[in-house]
Amino acid sequence: MTPDLSSPPHPLHCHPATPAGLPLRVTVAVDSNSQGLQLRYTVSGNTAALRLPTATEPGPADGLWQHTCLEAFVAPEAGESYREFNFSPSGQWAAYRFAGERQHDPSTKAVLPAPRMQLAITPSQLTLDVHLPAAALPSPAATLRLALCAVIEEHDGRLSYWALQHPQTRPDFHHPAGRSLRLALP
Protein backbone atom coordinates (compact mmCIF):
# COMPACT_ATOMS: atom_id res chain seq x y z
CA MET A 1 0.00 0.00 0.00
CA THR A 2 2.98 2.36 0.04
CA PRO A 3 1.60 5.39 -1.81
CA ASP A 4 3.63 7.36 -4.30
CA LEU A 5 3.37 10.85 -2.81
CA SER A 6 4.33 13.64 -5.15
CA SER A 7 4.33 16.39 -2.53
CA PRO A 8 7.35 17.07 -0.32
CA PRO A 9 6.86 16.30 3.37
CA HIS A 10 5.68 19.10 5.65
CA PRO A 11 7.68 19.47 8.88
CA LEU A 12 5.72 19.42 12.12
CA HIS A 13 6.89 21.65 14.96
CA CYS A 14 7.00 20.67 18.60
CA HIS A 15 4.92 22.95 20.81
CA PRO A 16 7.26 24.97 23.07
CA ALA A 17 5.10 24.19 26.14
CA THR A 18 5.71 20.43 25.63
CA PRO A 19 9.32 20.03 24.51
CA ALA A 20 10.49 16.61 23.41
CA GLY A 21 13.19 15.01 25.50
CA LEU A 22 14.66 13.37 22.39
CA PRO A 23 15.98 14.90 19.20
CA LEU A 24 13.17 14.04 16.77
CA ARG A 25 12.04 15.12 13.34
CA VAL A 26 8.37 14.66 12.46
CA THR A 27 7.04 15.20 8.94
CA VAL A 28 3.86 14.47 7.00
CA ALA A 29 3.54 14.15 3.24
CA VAL A 30 0.02 14.47 1.88
CA ASP A 31 -1.53 13.96 -1.51
CA SER A 32 -5.03 13.51 -2.89
CA ASN A 33 -6.63 11.66 -5.74
CA SER A 34 -10.16 10.57 -6.63
CA GLN A 35 -9.85 7.73 -4.09
CA GLY A 36 -9.16 10.04 -1.12
CA LEU A 37 -6.18 11.32 0.85
CA GLN A 38 -2.78 9.69 1.20
CA LEU A 39 -0.76 10.64 4.26
CA ARG A 40 2.76 9.54 5.18
CA TYR A 41 3.78 10.34 8.74
CA THR A 42 7.50 9.97 9.46
CA VAL A 43 9.11 10.20 12.89
CA SER A 44 12.90 10.20 12.62
CA GLY A 45 15.17 9.71 15.61
CA ASN A 46 15.74 7.03 18.22
CA THR A 47 12.49 5.08 17.81
CA ALA A 48 13.56 2.60 20.52
CA ALA A 49 13.18 5.46 23.03
CA LEU A 50 9.53 6.01 22.06
CA ARG A 51 6.63 4.39 23.87
CA LEU A 52 4.55 2.87 21.12
CA PRO A 53 1.18 1.22 21.67
CA THR A 54 1.22 -2.56 21.28
CA ALA A 55 -0.02 -3.85 17.93
CA THR A 56 -3.62 -4.98 18.16
CA GLU A 57 -6.55 -5.85 15.94
CA PRO A 58 -7.11 -2.87 13.63
CA GLY A 59 -10.33 -1.03 14.31
CA PRO A 60 -11.91 2.03 15.89
CA ALA A 61 -10.94 3.08 19.43
CA ASP A 62 -11.24 6.20 21.57
CA GLY A 63 -8.51 7.93 23.60
CA LEU A 64 -5.72 7.22 21.13
CA TRP A 65 -4.35 10.76 21.59
CA GLN A 66 -3.27 9.87 25.15
CA HIS A 67 -0.26 8.00 23.70
CA THR A 68 1.77 8.10 20.49
CA CYS A 69 -0.81 9.01 17.87
CA LEU A 70 -0.71 10.66 14.44
CA GLU A 71 -3.59 12.93 13.56
CA ALA A 72 -5.30 14.88 10.80
CA PHE A 73 -8.02 17.51 11.15
CA VAL A 74 -9.83 18.03 7.85
CA ALA A 75 -12.29 20.80 7.01
CA PRO A 76 -13.90 22.13 3.85
CA GLU A 77 -12.65 25.54 2.72
CA ALA A 78 -15.84 27.23 3.96
CA GLY A 79 -17.71 26.71 7.20
CA GLU A 80 -16.90 25.64 10.73
CA SER A 81 -17.41 21.87 10.46
CA TYR A 82 -14.46 19.50 10.39
CA ARG A 83 -13.40 15.90 10.88
CA GLU A 84 -10.75 14.56 13.24
CA PHE A 85 -8.81 11.40 12.43
CA ASN A 86 -6.47 9.64 14.87
CA PHE A 87 -4.07 6.91 13.73
CA SER A 88 -2.23 4.77 16.26
CA PRO A 89 0.86 2.69 15.49
CA SER A 90 -1.13 -0.11 17.20
CA GLY A 91 -3.37 -0.32 14.12
CA GLN A 92 -6.31 1.33 15.85
CA TRP A 93 -7.91 4.51 14.55
CA ALA A 94 -10.64 7.01 15.37
CA ALA A 95 -12.81 9.33 13.28
CA TYR A 96 -14.99 12.12 14.64
CA ARG A 97 -17.30 14.74 13.09
CA PHE A 98 -17.54 18.25 14.53
CA ALA A 99 -20.05 21.01 13.71
CA GLY A 100 -17.72 23.66 15.16
CA GLU A 101 -14.67 23.90 17.38
CA ARG A 102 -14.90 20.93 19.80
CA GLN A 103 -18.67 20.64 19.14
CA HIS A 104 -19.50 17.06 18.19
CA ASP A 105 -21.91 16.97 15.26
CA PRO A 106 -25.13 15.47 16.62
CA SER A 107 -26.84 15.50 13.21
CA THR A 108 -25.15 12.35 11.99
CA LYS A 109 -24.40 9.04 13.64
CA ALA A 110 -23.11 7.42 10.45
CA VAL A 111 -19.76 5.72 10.91
CA LEU A 112 -16.99 7.06 8.71
CA PRO A 113 -15.23 4.50 6.51
CA ALA A 114 -12.09 2.93 7.95
CA PRO A 115 -8.67 4.16 6.87
CA ARG A 116 -6.06 1.75 5.55
CA MET A 117 -2.78 1.95 7.45
CA GLN A 118 0.66 0.43 7.02
CA LEU A 119 3.38 0.80 9.67
CA ALA A 120 7.14 0.38 9.22
CA ILE A 121 9.60 0.81 12.09
CA THR A 122 13.40 0.77 12.07
CA PRO A 123 15.75 1.82 14.89
CA SER A 124 15.84 5.33 13.46
CA GLN A 125 12.47 5.85 11.77
CA LEU A 126 8.76 5.19 12.18
CA THR A 127 6.65 5.54 9.05
CA LEU A 128 2.87 5.27 8.98
CA ASP A 129 1.19 5.35 5.58
CA VAL A 130 -2.52 6.14 5.75
CA HIS A 131 -5.18 6.13 3.07
CA LEU A 132 -8.36 8.02 4.00
CA PRO A 133 -11.16 7.05 1.61
CA ALA A 134 -12.92 9.90 -0.20
CA ALA A 135 -16.17 8.97 1.59
CA ALA A 136 -14.52 9.83 4.94
CA LEU A 137 -13.75 13.39 3.85
CA PRO A 138 -16.07 16.39 4.13
CA SER A 139 -18.13 16.92 1.01
CA PRO A 140 -18.80 18.70 -1.13
CA ALA A 141 -15.44 20.42 -1.04
CA ALA A 142 -13.07 21.41 -3.83
CA THR A 143 -10.42 22.52 -1.33
CA LEU A 144 -9.67 21.16 2.12
CA ARG A 145 -8.03 22.88 5.08
CA LEU A 146 -5.79 20.50 7.00
CA ALA A 147 -4.12 20.44 10.39
CA LEU A 148 -1.52 17.66 10.46
CA CYS A 149 -0.45 16.74 13.97
CA ALA A 150 1.24 14.16 16.17
CA VAL A 151 1.39 13.23 19.83
CA ILE A 152 4.70 11.53 20.63
CA GLU A 153 5.18 9.60 23.87
CA GLU A 154 8.65 8.78 25.12
CA HIS A 155 9.57 5.82 27.35
CA ASP A 156 9.45 8.01 30.48
CA GLY A 157 5.83 8.99 29.67
CA ARG A 158 6.71 12.49 28.44
CA LEU A 159 4.27 13.67 25.77
CA SER A 160 5.19 16.19 23.09
CA TYR A 161 2.67 17.76 20.72
CA TRP A 162 3.63 18.43 17.11
CA ALA A 163 1.75 20.37 14.42
CA LEU A 164 2.21 22.38 11.25
CA GLN A 165 1.24 25.45 13.27
CA HIS A 166 0.46 26.06 16.95
CA PRO A 167 -1.95 29.03 17.24
CA GLN A 168 -2.33 28.88 21.05
CA THR A 169 -0.02 29.09 24.07
CA ARG A 170 -1.04 25.50 24.94
CA PRO A 171 -1.31 22.66 22.41
CA ASP A 172 -4.76 22.71 20.77
CA PHE A 173 -5.14 20.72 17.56
CA HIS A 174 -8.84 21.69 17.31
CA HIS A 175 -8.20 25.42 16.91
CA PRO A 176 -9.36 26.56 13.43
CA ALA A 177 -6.13 28.52 12.81
CA GLY A 178 -4.23 25.24 13.01
CA ARG A 179 -5.87 24.05 9.79
CA SER A 180 -3.34 26.04 7.78
CA LEU A 181 -2.56 23.66 4.91
CA ARG A 182 -4.77 24.04 1.83
CA LEU A 183 -5.21 21.04 -0.47
CA ALA A 184 -7.17 21.12 -3.73
CA LEU A 185 -9.07 17.94 -4.47
CA PRO A 186 -9.00 16.43 -7.97
pLDDT single digits (tens) 61-86: 999 999 999 999 999 988 888 999 99
Residue predicted with more confidence, 106 or 43 = 43
Does the residue 158 lie in any domain?
yes
Does the residue 97 lie in any domain?
yes
- Mean model confidence pLDDT for the chain: 91
pLDDT tens digit sequence for 43-67: 999 999 999 999 999 999 999 999 9
Does the residue 5 lie in any domain?
no
62 to 6, 88, 95, 158: CA distances (angstroms): 32, 11, 9, 20
Residue predicted with more confidence, 7 or 13 = 13
Does the residue 1 lie in any domain?
no
| Domain span including residue 71 | 10-184
Does the residue 4 lie in any domain?
no
Give the C-alpha separation, 26 to 8, whole Å.
13
Task: Give yes or no for residue 2 having a pLDDT over 60.
Answer: no
Average pLDDT of the residues in 111-118 = 89
- pLDDT tier at 142, thresholds 50, 70, 90: confident
Q: How many domains does the chain have?
A: 1
Does the residue 114 lie in any domain?
yes
pLDDT of residue 5: 66
User: Could you check whether the bond before residue 171 is cis, i.e. omega within 30 degrees of 0?
Assistant: no
Q: Per-residue DSSP letters for 14-32?
A: E-TTS--SS--EEEEEEEE
1 to 59, 122, 131, 135, 171: CA distances (angstroms): 18, 18, 9, 19, 32
Q: What is the domain-level CATH number for residue 132? A: 2.60.40.1190
